[in-house]
Amino acid sequence: MAIRYDWLTRIEDLVPLYPEWADLARRTEAEVFLTPDWFDVWWRGLAASRRLVCLVARDQGRLVGLLPFAVERIWAGPLPLRLARFAGTDPHCMIFHLPLEPETAAEILRTAFVHLLGAVGCDAVSLTPVSALSDILPAVRAASDPSLAILDLDDGVHTVFELPDSFEAHLSGMSKNRRSQFRRDRKQLTERYAMTSAIHAPDAADFERFIGFHNAQWRAVGKGGNFGDWPENASFYPVLAEKTKAIPLIRFHDLTGTTGLLASQFTVLSGKTVHWRLPARTLDPEAEKLSVGKVSLIMLIEDLIIAGVKRIEAGRGEYDYKVGLGATSAAVHRLILCRASPLGRLRLRLLLAWADFLNLCYYRIWFLKLAPRLRRATGLRPAPLWRSWIRTRI
């Protein structure tokens, strides 16, 4: 029988499907960002002026696909354009698996793209960022349609730790010097601070304390850090932590000593994958000399291996210290779809040209180079990232 498609545009109509959606997400090992627990908090707190367009696909009554999209108007200079992307995600969310049954994924994606670019009137559908390790790439390529144009561009790399079955096996992949240094630093931290480790699911108050701890580290070097640059996160994550504590969805991996919290790692659980979102560490110079940040990361890896996790997604970019601790890099794709017409391609080119212009002038020149110099000269505090720049990160 043919797949039946429904399109929901109100969260009130989607809520009754949460149990089925959660079951589908478990079966397909969908990323946590596309599960009802995450989506509900994100949509109610961060959707703002966005419009919900959610595809629901059933095969003989059984839910085989559910894709929530957030549709918003963004500006390419004076030109207003309509963009769709997965609701619940941001430019840092790396998705490996969608809540789609594999045998129907291509057909469901094709139907979604055609509807969004046709009936909904979107100028583009952005899936960025897409990892080369994701099953999204082959599914989108298989979802080709004469009415669709697919833009697939290089967008740098992200870092992953592919975890073995034992912590000793992971350590054996590091250099002898790094293994020895880790053991010495952990031993000295334990002796100097009576260091202990703990894993817990935070509530809202715990997350507020983490935000303060993280902010202090970055303000000490004149930067805003994640919650200063992206202030919406400071309101979103405490609510998410409170509402999902019983699951749990968020975990803190803390190192504590006689002087208080030494380091904390904020992670998000997604089946056998963990997304390492943010680290934070003390400003104590003695602890810094003993590489408390790296020790905390290696102990996080140990905890996750024991818990049966198979992959840590460790964020955009390539960092020598992560590679030295056993990480590898995977390519990131900038994956965008538009209408396969001259006008559709032109509007997408204009949007990308504006995004690149804004990225160069605002982010690379002003935010990264000029603004820090101005702050050092005047003592001004860092300002959040421009919302207009954030929305063009497609």
User: Is residue 247 within 8 Å of residue 177, measured between CB atoms?
Assistant: no
> Cα separation of 227 and 238, whole Å?
12
My answer on whether 57 and 127 are in the same domain is: yes
Type of residue at 320: D
Any idea which residue has 């006689």 for tokens? 258
Q: What are the tens digits of pLDDT across the range 67-116? A: 999 999 999 989 999 999 999 999 999 999 999 999 999 999 999 999 99
My answer on whether 302 and 187 are in the same domain is: yes
Give me the CATH number covering residue 237: 3.40.630
* pTM, two decimal places: 0.94
> Cα separation of 277 and 299, whole Å?
16
Per-residue pLDDT, 74: 94
Domain boundary (309, 343, 368) is at 309
Backbone Cα Rg of the chain: 22
Contacts of 44 (CB under 8 A, 6+ apart): 11
Which segment of 25-29, 221-225, 276-280 scores lowest on mean pLDDT?
A: 221-225
My answer on whether 191 and 258 are in the same domain is: yes
Per-residue pLDDT, 144: 86
Q: What are the tens digits of pLDDT across the range 135-172? A: 999 999 999 899 999 999 999 999 999 999 999 999 99
**3-state SS class at 327:** coil
User: Is residue 166 within 8 Å of residue 306, measured between CB atoms?
Assistant: no
- 3-state secondary structure string, 112-177? HHHHHHCCCCCCEEECCCEECCCCHHHHHHHCCCCCEEEEEEEEEEEEEEECCCCHHHHHHCCCHH
- Locate 378 and state its tokens: 């005047």
How much of the chain, in percent, has pLDDT values that exceed 70? 100
My answer on whether 302 and 387 are in the same domain is: no
My answer on whether 57 and 191 are in the same domain is: no
Q: How many domains does the chain have?
A: 2
Q: What are the tens digits of pLDDT across the range 204-240? A: 999 999 999 999 999 999 999 999 999 999 999 999 9
My answer on whether 26 and 134 are in the same domain is: yes
Mean pLDDT in the chain?
96
Which segment of 45-49, 166-170, 186-190, 205-209 scores lowest on mean pLDDT?
A: 45-49
Per-residue pLDDT, 302: 97
**Is the pLDDT assigned to residue 64 strictly greater than 70?**
yes
As to burial, measured by CB atoms within 10 angstroms (0-12 exposed, 13-18 middle, 19+ buried), residue 24 is buried
Instruction: Establish if 320 belongs to a structural domain.
Output: no
My answer on whether 186 and 289 are in the same domain is: yes
**Is the pLDDT assigned to residue 276 strictly greater than 90?**
yes
Instruction: Establish if 152 belongs to a structural domain.
Output: yes
Domain boundary (252, 275, 309) is at 309
User: Is residue 258 within 8 Å of residue 282, measured between CB atoms?
Assistant: no
My answer on whether 113 and 171 are in the same domain is: no
Q: In this structure, how many other beta carbons lie within 10 angstroms of the beta carbon of residue 90?
A: 17
> Cα separation of 301 and 170, whole Å?
9
My answer on whether 170 and 141 are in the same domain is: no
* Residue 48 pLDDT class (50, 70, 90 cuts): confident
Query: Please, how many CA atoms are within 13 Å of residue 189, restricted to the half-sphere of its CB?
Result: 30
- Mean pLDDT calculated for residue range 277-303: 96
**Is the pLDDT assigned to residue 1 strictly greater than 80?**
no
Per-residue pLDDT, 312: 98
Instruction: Establish if 265 belongs to a structural domain.
Output: yes
My answer on whether 182 and 91 are in the same domain is: no
Give me the CATH number covering residue 132: 3.40.630.30
Domain of residue 369 covers 4-156+332-391
Instruction: Establish if 315 belongs to a structural domain.
Output: no
My answer on whether 301 and 373 are in the same domain is: no
Instruction: Establish if 314 belongs to a structural domain.
Output: no
My answer on whether 30 and 79 are in the same domain is: yes
Instruction: Establish if 298 belongs to a structural domain.
Output: yes
Type of residue at 388: S
Instruction: Establish if 101 belongs to a structural domain.
Output: yes
Instruction: Establish if 318 belongs to a structural domain.
Output: no
